[in-house]
Amino acid sequence: MKNPNRHMLKWKIAIQEYRGNMTIVHKAGNIHKNADGLSRWGLPNTPDNPAYVPKSAEPQIPIEGINITDVGTEFFEEAR
C-alpha cells in the first residue's frame, strides 16, 4: 500500500506485529457484499445521531458507609 488513507494506516500499524504471518488483500466495497457490521465505519456522535445513553430505572443513591461483617461457617451450616 503506497499511500494508505488515515483509516487504513491505523489498521496497518495495529497489525504490524503479525507481519509475516498473514497477507492482507484489499477488496472494494462493491465487491465485498458480505461484510459484517464491524468492518463498517462507525456513525459520528452528532446532535442528529446521538449516542445511546441508557437511563437507569432506579434512582442513584450514594453509598455513605459500608459495614463488613465476618460470617462464620456456623451461619452457613444453619442456613442449609
Is residue 50 included in any domain, yes or no? no
Is residue 24 included in any domain, yes or no? yes
Q: Rounded to an integer, what distance in angstroms lies between the CA atom of residue 18 and that of residue 40?
A: 22
**6-33 pLDDT, tens digit each:** 777 888 888 888 777 777 777 777 776 7
**48-77 pLDDT, tens digit each:** 766 766 666 677 777 777 666 666 777 767
Is residue 13 included in any domain, yes or no? yes
Is residue 25 included in any domain, yes or no? yes
Average pLDDT, the chain: 72
**Number of domains the chain is built from:** 1
pLDDT value of residue 73: 72
Cell of 67: 459495614
Beta carbons within 8 Å of 1's beta carbon, 6+ residues apart = 8, 12, 26
pLDDT value of residue 1: 62
Which domain range does residue 10 map to? 1-29
